Amino acid sequence: MTVVSAPVIKTALPGPKAKAIIERDGKVVSPSYTRSYPFVMARGQGATVEDVDGNVFLDCAAGIAVNSTGHSHPDVVAAIVEQAQKFLHMSGTDFYYEPQVRLGEEMDALAPFSGPKRSFFANSGTEAVEAALKLARYHTKRYGVIAFLGSFHGRTLGSLSLTASKAIQRKGFGPPLGGVYHAPFANCYRCPVGQRPDDCDAACLSFIDDQILVHLVSPDEVAAVIVEPIQGEGGYVVPPAQFHQRLRELTTRHGMLFIADEVQSGMGRTGKMFAIEHFGVEPDVVTAAKGIASGMPLGVTTARSQIMAWPPGAHASTFGGNPVSCAASLATIRLLRDSLVANAEKVGAHFMQGLKDLQEKHTIIGDVRGKGLMLGIELVKDRKTKERAAKERDRLVDECFKRGLLVLGAGANALRLSPPLVLTKDEADTAVRIIDEALAVVGSAG
């Protein structure tokens, strides 16, 4: 792919080749997929992607925060090719191979808690969460799990039972896994208990102590609390530090495990390797996926060694920790450590300021939030009432696409910006300009 400055839109969208592929897709692919707009990928490099009709876009979606090192980074591609030429698969469940061991050593060094660690390797984020859920029950000999409203932990039945983002994700699949309880998440823009951020002391967590653990389940029957350090699908919501600090104290007091779901927020996206590092607490278990292997399928559950002490056969995966995925992950981690985590912090701060400037200009923007290159814009019909501008958000996504910018929604009315971590300041400025132009079409509220 010859890199050009994105965007370059040559045809009506979708173009004729894209239309033909979309028509074929409609006949043979599950209709359960949530395609936001008719983009048909042909190739990509860095933060630039090209569709099958030759239209070039700036990518601020990164395959839902997956392409952390950009599209087809040459170091990652080289690692994939080198490993593929040796062997593609041998199943780490039954045999040994060094790439999986090396990745375990890397996770031991990287995971955001002290002491020795062990890792379980899976294929995806939801599988990593399933492993964490099973591990928590096995280790504690308790059944209960507390999760949070607005959370997204996956779509397999166990992780879906933890998920509380959108009803459509759960509709028709009940009953969910028993023993799961949901508490309010600390969304300071829409405080669930009517407090102010400067003096709330994460009062929403009192719901766990005063309601869940009094009326629904005894504390000594709760295995774990699972939480996204920054909510992803729920709207890119950043809680105050005291939320996680009080949560850590609560779990320690009651002998519960603290599971940090870093599937979307981890691997450098927030300007630190893991988002929980922003909040000054150490979890007991961390899940990672998405950006961990630059697009190759991989999920990892890392826990304190004394917790991950289950016997052979307790949990396994035929394809989890595939050697090619491990090779891609090792290359990804090198790039993250060497430069991309720092770039996410630097360019993210620049991007955030550009979005804050848009907030001053467009009253339809109620809130701008995030850390690093995990940024969210919440749209409202009125800043005083904070009435959600859901249709306007959907139209904003479409208008950005028409102008050559790929973005996605999050929650009911937020726009998520999760570009590859190779994004430059100039590319961030281009994204801000396009969002500005799209907002002018969508219209300002109030």
Residue where a domain stops, chosen among 286, 301, 336: 336
Residue where a domain stops, chosen among 308, 336, 364: 336
pLDDT band at 446; cut points 50, 70, 90: very low
> 184-217 burial string, b = 16+ CB within 10 Å, else e?
bbbbbbeebeeeeeeebebbbbebbeeebbeeeb
Q: How many domains does the chain have?
A: 2
Are residues 279 and 367 both part of a single domain? no
Instruction: Decide: 181 and 209 in contact? Cβ < 8 Å.
Output: no
Rounded to an integer, the average pLDDT of 354-368 is 97
Closest by CA to 7, choosing from 437, 388, 326, is: 437
Instruction: Decide: 256 and 140 in contact? Cβ < 8 Å.
Output: yes
295 lies in some domain: yes
What is the structure's pLDDT at 191?
A: 87
Instruction: Decide: 316 and 93 in contact? Cβ < 8 Å.
Output: yes
What is the structure's pLDDT at 2?
A: 58
**Which pairing describes strands 285-288 and 257-261: parallel, antiparallel, or unpaired?**
parallel
**pLDDT tens, 73-119?**
999 999 999 999 999 999 999 999 999 999 999 999 999 999 999 99
| C-alpha of 42 from chain center | 24
Average pLDDT, the chain: 95
pLDDT band at 261; cut points 50, 70, 90: very high
Are residues 66 and 92 both part of a single domain? no
**pLDDT tens, 308-336?**
999 999 999 999 999 999 999 999 999 99
User: Is residue 207's pLDDT more than 60?
Assistant: yes
User: Is residue 445's pLDDT more than 60?
Assistant: no
For tokens 């779509």, name the residue: 155
What is the structure's pLDDT at 156?
A: 93
User: Is residue 68's pLDDT more than 70?
Assistant: yes
User: Is residue 242's pLDDT more than 50?
Assistant: yes
Query: What residues have CB less than 8 Å from 409, skipping those under 6 apart?
Result: 36, 393, 394, 397, 415, 416
430 lies in some domain: yes
What is the structure's pLDDT at 171?
A: 87
pLDDT band at 4; cut points 50, 70, 90: low
351 lies in some domain: yes
Are residues 361 and 266 both part of a single domain? no
Are residues 66 and 187 both part of a single domain? no
Are residues 221 and 287 both part of a single domain? yes
Rounded to an integer, the average pLDDT of 119-126 is 98
User: Is residue 220's pLDDT more than 50?
Assistant: yes
Are residues 130 and 94 both part of a single domain? yes
8 lies in some domain: no
Residue where a domain stops, chosen among 315, 336, 357: 336
CATH number at residue 117: 3.40.640.10
**Owning domain of residue 181:** 75-336
Are residues 323 and 416 both part of a single domain? no
CATH number at residue 369: 3.90.1150.10
pLDDT band at 174; cut points 50, 70, 90: confident
**pLDDT tens, 129-149?**
999 999 999 999 999 999 999
Are residues 330 and 353 both part of a single domain? no
**pLDDT tens, 23-56?**
999 999 999 999 989 999 999 999 999 999 999 9
User: Is residue 1's pLDDT more than 60?
Assistant: no
Are residues 325 and 351 both part of a single domain? no
Share above pLDDT 90 across residues of the chain, in percent, rounded to a whole number? 91
Rounded to two decimals, what is the model's pTM? Answer: 0.95
User: Is residue 3's pLDDT more than 70?
Assistant: no
9 lies in some domain: no
The CA-atom distances, in angstroms, between 39 and each of 57, 68, 245, 250, 274 are 10, 20, 41, 45, 30
